[in-house]
Structure 1
Amino acid sequence: MPQLNPSPWFFIMLLSWLTFSLIIQPKLLSFTHTNLPTSKVQTTMKTSPWPWPWT
């Protein structure tokens, strides 16, 4: 099985990894969540039986 020359592919992988780590990731982590899951109150729905007309 022939092997690819790692020289150009390694540089592309390294450049994309650095771009993600240094530029994209800090921008994504700076977003704040508007609805935190811990601030929500769980409510239980009250269910009632269905009034079937034919019974």
Structure 2
Amino acid sequence: MPQLNPGPWFLTMLMTWLTYLMIIQPKLLSFTPINSPSNMPNTTTKTTSWLWPWT
């Protein structure tokens, strides 16, 4: 069963993850989010239940 032989694909998978961890991930983490969740005000909204016409 050739799909169980990790020889041809293990190096490809290893290089892909190393590229992601060393190059792509730090570049993505350096971006600053525009709308930071910590700047959102803590407001509570009053909700009312619906009056279903068929009940």
Identify if the C-alpha distance between structure 1 residues 6 and 42 changes in structure 2 by more than 3 Å, giving closer, same or farther: same
| Aligned residue pair count | 47
Q: Structure 1 unaligned runs (5+)?
A: 47-55
Partner of 2:7: 7
Shift of residue 5, structure 1, vs aligned partner: 2.4
In the alignment, structure 1 residue 23 sits paired with structure 2 residue 23: yes
TM-score, normalisation: structure 2 = 0.65
Identical pairs, percent: 58
State the structure with more CA Rg.
Answer: 1
TM-score, normalisation: structure 1 = 0.65
Runs (4+) of structure 1 exceeding 3 A deviation are 42-46
